[in-house]
């Protein structure tokens, strides 16, 4: 999805009449907790991830979400992959690196 979004951003920028830059939030627009990501990763890869739940530290962000409406509107960007797909793809890529070493 990110590579696809970068191509859409380049296409958009080259169509502008003057020098242009902008910032776009990319993603699904849906938030996930750290625990949801860990559980999802374990499910799609079969790999156990040891973790410990502790007290929130000073300065820890409670939640953070990216508003992707601007990328959808100006770049016509719509993500093709959900969290499970992205984690599985990242894990497959990591495995190819591990096999090369």
The C-alpha angle 26, 30, 34, rounded to 5 degrees, equals: 100
pLDDT in the model for residue 101: 62
pLDDT in the model for residue 100: 75
Q: What is the DSSP string of 48-68?
A: -------PPPTT--S------
pLDDT in the model for residue 66: 85
Structure-token pair, residue 34: 């750290």
Domain extent, residue 82, equals: 2-100
pLDDT in the model for residue 70: 95
CB of 25 within 8 A of CB of 67? Answer: yes
pLDDT in the model for residue 30: 86
Q: How many separate domains does the chain show?
A: 1
Give residue for tokens 């502008």. 16
Of 10, 14, 54, 58, nearest in space to 35 by CA: 54
pLDDT in the model for residue 28: 87
The CATH number for 79's domain is: 3.90.25.10
pLDDT in the model for residue 52: 96
pLDDT along the chain (101 residues), means of 10: 91 88 89 92 97 93 87 94 93 88 62
pLDDT in the model for residue 64: 80
């Amino acid at each position: 999805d990110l590579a696809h979004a970068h191509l859409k951003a380049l296409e958009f920028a080259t169509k502008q009449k003057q020098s242009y830059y902008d910032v776009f939030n990319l993603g699904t627009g849906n938030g996930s907790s750290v625990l949801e990501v860990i559980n999802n990763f374990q499910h799609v890869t079969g790999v156990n991830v040891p973790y410990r739940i502790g007290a929130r530290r000073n300065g820890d962000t409670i939640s953070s979400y990216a508003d992707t409406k601007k990328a959808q509107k100006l770049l016509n960007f719509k993500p093709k992959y959900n969290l499970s797909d992205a984690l599985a793809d990242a894990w497959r890529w990591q495995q190819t690196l591990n096999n090369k070493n």
